Structure 1
């Protein structure tokens, strides 16, 4: 057995009830959904080959916008790794 704590042993004490957003997963999900939609429209002959020239960049733009919004709105700020307790404050004064 090791005396080192397991990296996942610490419990997240965030009590806001919100799940953190995985920006990478969100971006790739939006891009995949957009590309699949364009493919479906192309295969069903709803759009022609000429339309693909301006439709193909749209999922990437939407994915980038979703990523920027997720980062801006989620308030991803660095949380301090160590929060001092009143007992720690007493130890420092000794």
Structure 2
């Protein structure tokens, strides 16, 4: 009696996949949100230490967009350098 197929390869006979080395690509979304969080903490620290005096909510109108501006510009730079 003959068989028309080869038996499946054994686990021991399979070649091991090459080990991945090196750096992994940076997730730009995580980078932007992490930087925005750090800048928010920095703004909070400036207000709490009294470095920036906030008498009313109107005084914060120039501080609150800073995290988004910093995070967005770093994200754009990371995307620009990632393509090249």
Report the Cα offset of residue 53 of structure 1.
1.4
Query: Aligned pair 1:21/2:29, yes or no?
Result: no
Give every structure 1 segment of 4 or more consecutive aligned residues whose post-TM-superposition deviation is greater than 4 Å: 10-13
Larger radius of gyration: 2
* Matches of 1:74 and 1:42, distance apart in 2: 36
Structure 2 stretches of 5 or more lacking a match? 1-16
* Matches of 1:12 and 1:54, distance apart in 2: 49
> Counterpart of 1:45?
50
Structure 1 stretches of 5 or more lacking a match? 1-9, 77-94
> Counterpart of 1:5?
none
Query: Aligned pair 1:68/2:73, yes or no?
Result: no
* Matched length: 65
> Counterpart of 2:7?
none
Question: TM (normalized to structure 2)?
Answer: 0.65
Query: Aligned pair 1:56/2:64, yes or no?
Result: yes
Give CA deviations for 1:33-79 in whole Å, capped at 9, x if unaligned: 10000000101111022542101101101101111111110128xxx
